[in-house]
Amino acid sequence: MAVLSPPSPPQPVLGLPVDASTLARLHGAACIICGDRSGSLTPAGYVYTSSGSGWLGWAVAACPRHREAQ
Ligand SMILES: [Zn+2]
């Protein structure tokens, strides 16, 4: 079986390494758009990072202001 490797990720791919605040967004601990941690975050799909041989998918979250912006 092949490793999950979509040819074209549905969202912009982030380059690695990322800084701490971006990592918090990738972990769903902050809004993926603005980095806000104070609001109620809701699931906002996936963001992908390049891992060299494929993509890594991260389940991210968005604040109420940005949950419609996906
Ligand atoms: Zn936001």
CA–centroid distance, 67 to ligand 1, in Å, is 7
Kindly give the distance from the C-alpha atom of residue 53 to the centroid of ligand 1, in angstroms, as a whole number: 31
> For residue 30, which amino acid is it?
A
Ligand 1 centroid to 42 CA: how many Å?
10
| Side chain identity at residue 35, one-letter code | G
Which residue is associated with the tokens 């109420």?
64
What's the 65 CA to ligand 1 centre distance in angstroms?
A: 6
The stretch 63-70 carries a mean pLDDT of 77
pLDDT of residue 1: 54
pLDDT at 18 over 70: yes
Q: What is the pLDDT of residue 6?
A: 56
Q: How far apart are CA 62 and CA 70, in angstroms?
A: 9
Does pLDDT of 43 surpass 60? yes
